[in-house]
Amino acid sequence: MPADNLLDDILHKKLEHRKQEGLFRSLVISRDKIDFASNDYLGFARSSFLETNHTPDRFGATGSRLISGNCIEAEEAEQAIAQFHQTEAALIFNSGYAANTSLACLASKNDTFIADELIHASMIDGIRMSVAAKLKFKHNNADDLAIKLKKATGSKIVLIESLYSMDGDEAPLAAMAEVCRKHHAHLIVDEAHAIGVFGKKGEGLVGHLHLQDQVYACVYTFGKALGLHGAAVAGSATLKNYLINFARPFIYSTALPPLAYRHIQTAYEHLPTANRNQLFDLIQYFKDATTSVRKFSFLKSDSPIQGLLVSGNDQAKRLSSYLFENGIYAKAILSPSVPAGTERLRICLHTFNTREQIDLLMQHINHFAK
């Protein structure tokens, strides 16, 4: 390292400023804790069925899909995903972030992205990368979406999530789809937190509500209920071919290894038989148990994503640390990731959690409050 490292000095000052603001991030290992933080809603990441006897002819992709990284495992997985979600085609990306930032290529400078104000950072980064105009509308507000669509020009592309990761609230998908139809807009839905959880087969909220024909494309992330890594954009065959030709995160990334595609296909095969009833029974038990907590309030959610409002970054971090010290991992969500005054403990529920663990969580929250 150079003796006169000016850049390191600059970076150090910025890190110190972040610490003073109470926003410094660090990595933790939480495997010995009760898990109320991960997105492994169905416990697939812990499931033995993802083990496979399939031995690929190579363990690394060796290049991007367009060079040497394509394989029969990838194409079979994409066909299975498209069939499962009743779309013409699907294209697998290395992550949900890569899939969502790839959406930037769909619009030109005369077009408009219109996004819910609370969409995920990956979608925000994607539209920032685009040369198209950008508008945002009030969260889950179909009327405000209609107002913004009247201001939009060119191709109109609306970006929303079906289930939002911070509040655990569902989008009014039918209303959004109808507004988009009236204004000749194309609706793209990020189903990251809904896939596996909602629907008779775990197909997500778009499929559960039979809105496939009214939605231009969906993004299905594998790092949540499927317990894996990667994501797929599902839509028309034309969309798939366009992304192959113009989506830079796809074109310039080394592909997933062949075994990863086999795992993705296996996870999809097990989605219809996952124990979603057990998950929703646990969600109801959790909601009933929240009545024992007096000092703090909880967000209203019927999903595995629950939120305990704890005003102020410092108090949210202290509560999370207190629980961690007592064997429970639940993540503090701080402003500006959420609006100031709505800082929270984000509590994720899973099929492998127990009622006893929920009771223990509530006991520790009450003890902290005292």
Instruction: Give the tokens for residue 104.
Output: 């930037």
Rounded CA-CA distance 131/151 in Å is 17
**What is the distance between the alpha carbons of residues 115 and 186, in angstroms, rounded to a whole number?**
12
Phi, psi of 196 (to 5 degrees): 90, -25
Q: What pairing do the DSSP bridges indicate for beta strands 186-190 and 156-161?
A: parallel
Between CA 275 and CA 352 the distance in angstroms is 10
Phi and psi at residue 276, in whole multiples of 5°?
A: -70, -30
Annotated active-site residue 108? The verdict is: no
Joined together, the tokens standing for residue 106 give 């769909």
* Alpha carbon separation from 148 to 103, 144, 152, 347 (Å, rounded): 20, 6, 6, 33
Q: How many helices (H) and strands (E) does the chain have?
A: 13, 13
Catalytically annotated residue among 186, 193, 263, 364: 193
| Three-class HEC string of 103-153 | HHHHCCCCCEEEEECCCCHHHHHHHHHCCCEEEEECCCCHHHHHHHHHHCC
Say whether 165 is catalytic.
yes
Integer Rg of the chain from CA: 22
Q: Which of the following is catalytic: 78, 190, 203, 343? A: 190
Catalytic residue among 85, 156, 186, 224: 224
Asked if residue 121 lies in contact with residue 129, where contact means CB atoms within 8 angstroms, the answer is no
Instruction: Say how far residue 277 (Cα) sits from the centre of its chain.
Output: 22
Phi-psi region of 158 (alpha: psi -120 to 50; beta: other; left: phi over 0): beta
Q: Is 193 a catalytic residue?
A: yes
Q: Is 167 a catalytic residue?
A: no
Catalytic residue among 35, 39, 136, 343: 39
Q: Which of 73, 78, 161, 191 is catalytic?
A: 161
* Catalytic choice (120, 186, 240, 263): 120
Hunting for tokens 């704890």 — which residue is that? 310
Catalytic, 292? Answer no
Give the residue numbers annotated as catalytic, written as ranges: 39, 120, 161, 165, 190, 193, 224
